[in-house]
């Protein structure tokens, strides 16, 4: 992946592979424009809105990637790959968090940038932080990304708020429609509170924008999930819907809907950070 030299200056830690932005090293007034090549040419300039997330560190992991595309669906004769849609939502979320002066690490990385297309082409060129090749065996993939997150978390141990956000798209029977739902580890009350705030935010948005629809997303403990039991930061694992269900697919293939997901998750995280002890 090619990076603008100005972006590289934003990173102060030895792993010289952005994204993370150091609030201490950059102008911090509202209206400041920072450039992040990872978002692509049309979205790389990020305007700082405020400092509401200064002091917060986020690690964004989109599921699968590289040799494993994850779940697959079909729409309009095209194949929908889980990793592509989770990655696009993850980039949009990272961009919104940066607008509020958070430090954000995008752990799984591609050279596509944010894409404003409905049908996202599947590929296998994703890498892990630092340009690492993503291995094929599932356990090796999970160990790789959890080790990266844990190493970065140790380097940011003085931050008062850490959250790991893991994004996936579920695969169920084609007729099963599901709302966005959340997992956390049972030993992490803070992660559970974050998940509930995200759930509450999504529910309020549906109540406002689609009051006739209802929202039935859940929050539950899933201690067996590797990314919940092996990572240091408080972790929320998010399933965005069923990639095989035609109605759920509209949540992913619509550019506006992908952006809305990122916006709503950002609002929930802003609220969670505001209440963090």
* pLDDT computed for residue 27 by the predictor: 54
CA distance 9 to 6: 5
In the chain the domains, ranked by start, together with CATH numbers, are 5-275 (3.40.630.40)
Structure token pair of residue 114: 């944010």
Per-residue pLDDT of the chain (277 residues; tens, 9 = 90+): 333 333 322 332 222 234 543 334 455 688 999 999 999 999 999 999 999 999 999 999 999 999 999 999 999 999 999 999 999 999 999 999 999 999 999 999 999 999 999 999 999 999 999 999 999 999 999 999 999 999 999 999 999 999 999 999 999 999 999 999 999 999 999 999 999 999 999 999 999 988 888 899 999 999 999 999 999 999 999 999 999 999 999 999 999 999 999 999 999 999 999 998 6
pLDDT in tens, 121-134: 999 999 999 999 99
Give the per-residue pLDDT at 19.
54
The C-alpha atoms of residue 180 and residue 242 are separated, in whole angstroms, by 9
What is the rounded CA–CA span in Å between residue 173 and residue 186?
28
Q: Which residues contact 223 (CB under 8 A, 6 or more apart)?
A: 185, 186, 187, 229
164/182 Cα distance (integer angstroms)? 13
Per residue in 161-174, pLDDT (tens digit) is 999 999 999 999 99
Structure tokens at 208: 């406002």
Q: How many whole angstroms separate alpha carbon 19 and alpha carbon 103?
A: 8
Cβ atoms within 10 Å of 205's Cβ, excluding its own:
17
Output the CA torsion 97→101→102→105 (10° steps). 80
- Pair of tokens at residue 85: 């849609």
User: CA-to-CA distance for 174 and 71, rounded, in angstroms?
Assistant: 12
Is the Cβ–Cβ distance between 54 and 38 less than 8 Å?
no
């Amino acid at each position: 992946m090619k990076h603008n030299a100005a972006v590289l200056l934003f990173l102060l830690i030895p792993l010289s592979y952005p994204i993370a932005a150091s609030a201490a090293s950059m102008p911090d007034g509202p209206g400041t424009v920072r450039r992040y090549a990872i978002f692509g040419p049309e979205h790389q300039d990020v305007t700082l809105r405020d400092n509401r997330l200064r002091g917060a560190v986020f690690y964004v992991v989109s599921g699968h990637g590289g040799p494993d595309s994850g779940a697959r669906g079909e729409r309009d004769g095209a194949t929908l790959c889980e990793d592509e849609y989770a990655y696009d939502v993850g980039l949009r979320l990272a961009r919104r968090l940066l607008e509020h002066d958070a430090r954000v690490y995008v752990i799984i990385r591609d050279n596509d940038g944010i894409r404003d297309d409905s049908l996202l082409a599947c590929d296998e060129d994703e890498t892990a932080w630092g340009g690492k090749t993503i291995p094929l065996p599932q356990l090796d993939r999970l160990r790789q990304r959890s080790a990266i997150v844990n190493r970065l978390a140790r380097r940011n141990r003085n931050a008062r708020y850490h959250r790991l956000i893991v994004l996936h798209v579920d695969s169920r029977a084609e007729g099963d429609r599901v709302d966005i739902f959340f997992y956390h580890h049972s030993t992490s009350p803070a992660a559970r509170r974050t998940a509930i705030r995200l759930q509450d935010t999504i529910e309020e948005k549906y109540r406002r924008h689609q009051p006739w629809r209802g929202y039935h997303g859940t929050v539950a403990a899933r201690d067996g999930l590797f990314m919940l039991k092996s990572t240091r930061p408080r972790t929320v694992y998010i399933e965005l819907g069923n990639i095989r269900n035609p109605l759920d697919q509209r949540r992913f293939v619509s550019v506006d809907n992908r952006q809305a997901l990122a916006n709503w998750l950002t609002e929930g995280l802003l609220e969670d950070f505001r209440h963090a002890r």
